Amino acid sequence: MSGPGGGTAPSEVSAPDWPRRAAPAAPTSAELDARVTECRACPRLVEWREKVAREKRAAFRDWEYWGRPVPGLGPPDARLLVVGLAPAAHGGNRTGRIFTGDRSGDVLFAAMHAVGLANQPIAVHRDDGLRLIGTRITAPVKCAPPENKPTPAERDTCRPWLDAEIELLRPTLRAVLVLGGFGWQALLPVLADHGWTIPRPRPRFGHGAHVELASVRPASTVHLFGSYHVSQQNTFTGRLTPAMLEEVLAAAARAAGLSVNSHPV
């Protein structure tokens, strides 16, 4: 294995166990993110993300699509982690930054800015100046899947990247906001494996769900929140409104010890 972004052999990064071998060895979030972008462990997703990047959507034909895994975004000492599902084919898979360049991201970043978790409400490309405040955003599956539906096997293959991300964030992590049931189901076993106690029966996903999870070694508490996903299906139908999203973001931010705008901007 070579260093991050160092041109690791294609046979290595295409092996199903590449995430399991590469992720735990990354000493920093920056190096983890660099390693993620090399990954080719899921043949179906690699084929799809690259096909979308070649064929493009007509509106974006002048773009050079990213067409690779999309790493997490935000400071390495974040207190709040927002967990989605996977990058969008013409959003993150085009721009190379999570939730950037699609309608879901428009809704999410506008709400984060209103609450005080982002320096601007707009996210259009990787060099647009967006900065997250005390918050990191990630996804349990780092490549765009067909129809936004990764398989359980793809979720499990990708899991070591999320495992390593949680471990690196652990010293500062105080709250997690999960967008949607897929992320909720993917994240609970990860938190359990990292020492947080998951109540029995398992907490059910729902918008506004909130449960405190304790860990003994090392002693820490994480507040887990649920929100409907910022998908167009939810936001266009009014199932998830900007006010609902701002409310749950603010609650998660307060639980994480972050300061929150008292009056949304």
- Least separation, in Å, of the C-beta of 16 and ligand SF4? 8
Total residues interacting with ligand SF4, rule: CB under 6 A: 15
Judged by CB under 6 A, the residue of 136, 142, 174, 207 near ligand SF4 is 142
Angle value at C-alpha 132, between 147 and 242, nearest 5 degrees: 60
CB-CB contact of 105 with 93 (8 Å)? no
| 55: enclosing H helix or E strand | helix 43-55
Pair of tokens at residue 250: 């603010």
- With CA atoms as reference, report the closest residue to 186 among 115, 84, 89: 84
Q: Smallest gap, in angstroms, from Cβ of residue 35 to ligand SF4?
A: 9
206 vs 188: CA distance, rounded Å? 14
Tell which residue, 36, 29, 28, has the closest CA to residue 8: 36
Of 40, 79, 97, 136, the one binding ligand SF4 (CB under 6 A) is 40
82 binds ligand SF4 (CB under 6 A): no
DSSP state of 245: H
**CA–CA distance, 84 with 100 (Å, rounded to integer):** 13
141 counts as binding ligand SF4 under rule CB under 6 A: yes
Which range, of 97-105, 135-143, 198-206, 213-221, touches ligand SF4 by CB under 6 A? 135-143
When binding is defined by CB under 6 A, the residue of 110, 158, 187, 222 that contacts ligand SF4 is: 158
Among the listed ranges 113-121, 154-162, 180-188, 218-226, the one in contact with ligand SF4 (CB under 6 A) is 154-162
Q: Which of residues 2-31 bind ligand SF4 (CB under 6 A)?
A: 19
Backbone angles phi, psi at 18, to 5 degrees: -60, -45
The label of the residue with tokens 């506008």 reads 110
Nearer to ligand SF4, 41 or 52 (CB): 41
The residue among 158 and 191 lying less far from ligand SF4, judged by its C-beta, is 158
Please state, as a whole number, how many other Cβ atoms lie within 10 Å of the Cβ of residue 210: 16
**For ligand SF4, which residue of 23, 45, 190, 249 counts as binding (CB under 6 A)?**
45
Query: Which spans of this chain sit near ligand SF4 (rule: CB under 6 A)?
Result: 19, 36, 39-42, 45-46, 69, 141-143, 154, 157-158
